[in-house]
Amino acid sequence: MVQQLPDQRPKVLLFDWDNTLVDGWIGITAALNAAFDAFDKPRWTVQETKSRVRVALRESFPVMFGDAWEQARDIFYQAFRSDHLAHVTPMPGAAEALEAGLAWPRGVVSNKAGPYLRAEVLHLGWSAHFGTVIGAGDATADKPSPAPIRMALDQLGFPPSRDIWYLGDTALDMQAARAAGVTAVLVGDASHDGGVELASPDLHLHSAHDLAAWLKILA
């Protein structure tokens, strides 16, 4: 159900990608498991991947694989490159929300590596929806740093402000939004990330369907 509408209409909509607009967890999990297999590490289920993957690979892999992290990275990307487009699908309501948001400048800011992120946007036929698509490695730092959100806004021609919305599904997304000085909007219940209270969003929507309904009214 759509909550009470905010007092001020947003100027820009910036979206996280995985688990906000798309479900690509099968491909991510398969690539992670290829790296784990190479180093005799336990495999992850899709649900474990959802609950554990937050920061960009260049931050997480040195912790997970130590000095061999670059070798593990190469194995991951080789596996990911081969089939990630076959697994990426829109989240329920995401296409509807994008159509409802046609009145706004929009962009994507994700911790998925930039080239793969842009390939997925193109694959889904969504390129026309976004004036900028920023992935891991594109800015000087990745989320939760505010750098990629500020980079996206700079490319769209807007300064950071509270009437910019960053929409994501995790506490890390909300942290990045607050650090960038924009409004943090949680989409979903964040059950894979400690729940809504831990995420502490400025605004909360239960689903992309609710986001679509909200944007139709605001438009």
**Average pLDDT of span 2-6:** 56
Asked whether residue 39 carries a pLDDT value surpassing 80, the answer given is yes
Domain ranges of the chain: 12-23+89-218, 25-87
**pTM metric for this prediction:** 0.88
Please report the pLDDT score of residue 3 as a whole number. 54
- Greater pLDDT, 190 or 105: 105
Helix (H) or strand (E) holding 165: strand 164-168
Please report the pLDDT score of residue 1 as a whole number. 40
**Average pLDDT of span 208-212:** 95
Q: Long-range contacts: 72-75, Cβ < 8 Å, 24+? A: 72/35, 72/38, 72/39, 73/35, 75/34, 75/35, 75/38
Residue 70: φ, ψ to 5°:
-70, -35
- How open is the CA angle 142-143-149, to the nearest 5 degrees? 90
Find all residues with CB under 8 Å of 215, minimum gap 6, and list them: 13, 97, 100, 101, 103, 104
Find all residues with CB under 8 Å of 209, minimum gap 6, and list them: 92, 93, 96, 97
Q: Enter the tokens of residue 127.
A: 């390129």
Asked whether residue 212 carries a pLDDT value surpassing 80, the answer given is yes
Please report the pLDDT score of residue 2 as a whole number. 44
Query: Is domain 12-23+89-218 in CATH 3.40.50.1000, yes or no?
Result: yes
Average per-residue pLDDT for the chain: 93
Residue 110: φ, ψ to 5°:
-135, 160
Please report the pLDDT score of residue 25 as a whole number. 87
Q: What is the tens place of the pLDDT at every residue in 96-140?
A: 999 999 999 999 999 999 999 999 999 999 999 999 999 999 999
Q: Enter the tokens of residue 211.
A: 């986001």
Q: Are strands 12-15 and 164-168 parallel, antiparallel or unpaired?
A: parallel
Please report the pLDDT score of residue 4 as a whole number. 57
Taking the C-alpha atoms of residue 187 and residue 171, their distance in angstroms, rounded to an integer, is 11
Q: What is the tens place of the pLDDT at every residue in 40-57?
A: 999 999 999 988 988 889
Which CATH architecture is the domain 25-87 placed in? Orthogonal Bundle (1.10)
